[in-house]
Chains A and B, each alone.
Chain A
Amino acid sequence: MKWVLVAVLVLATVLGDLLQSHEMKRAGEQSVSARGFARLLHIIAQRRLLILGIACNAVSFFTFMALVQTEPLSFAVPASSASFVLETLLAKFVLHERLGARRAAGALAVLAGVVLVGG
Chain B
Amino acid sequence: MTNLTARSGALLKTYSVLVFFLALKAVGNSAMAWGMKQVPERMSMNPALYLRAMLNPFVAMGVAALILALLTRMALFSLADLSFVLPVTAVGYVIAVFLGKVFLHETVTHQRWLGTLLIFAGAALVGSTSRNTTSTTSPEESPT
Tell me the A residues contacting B by CB distance below 8 Å. Answer: 20-21, 24-25, 27-32, 36-37, 40, 57, 61-62, 64-66, 68-70, 72-78, 81, 84, 87-88, 100, 102-103, 105-119
Contact = CB atoms under 8 A, between A and B. Distances in A.
A30 B75 contact: yes
B74 to A, nearest CB: 6
Given A29-B79, A116-B112, 5 more contacts: A65-B32, A69-B36, A72-B106, A111-B122, A117-B119
B55 interface: no
A111 B90 CA distance: 14
Given A68-B32, A73-B106, A110-B122, A32 B96 contact: no
A26 to B, nearest CB: 10
A77 B69 CA distance: 15
Contacts of B27: none
Contacts of A74: 96-97, 100-101, 104, 106, 108, 112, 116
5 pairs of A and B residues whose beta carbons are closest in the complex? A106-B125, A116-B115, A109-B122, A113-B118, A74-B100
Contacts of A57: 70
Given A28-B78, A40-B71, A110-B122, A73 B30 contact: yes
A69 to B, nearest CB: 4
Interface in B74-93: 74-75, 77-79, 82, 86, 90, 92-93
B74 A78 contact: no
A65 B54 CA distance: 10
10 contacts: A20-B77, A25-B77, A25-B133, A25-B134, A61-B63, A77-B97, A109-B121, A111-B122, A113-B118, A117-B115
A117 B106 CA distance: 13
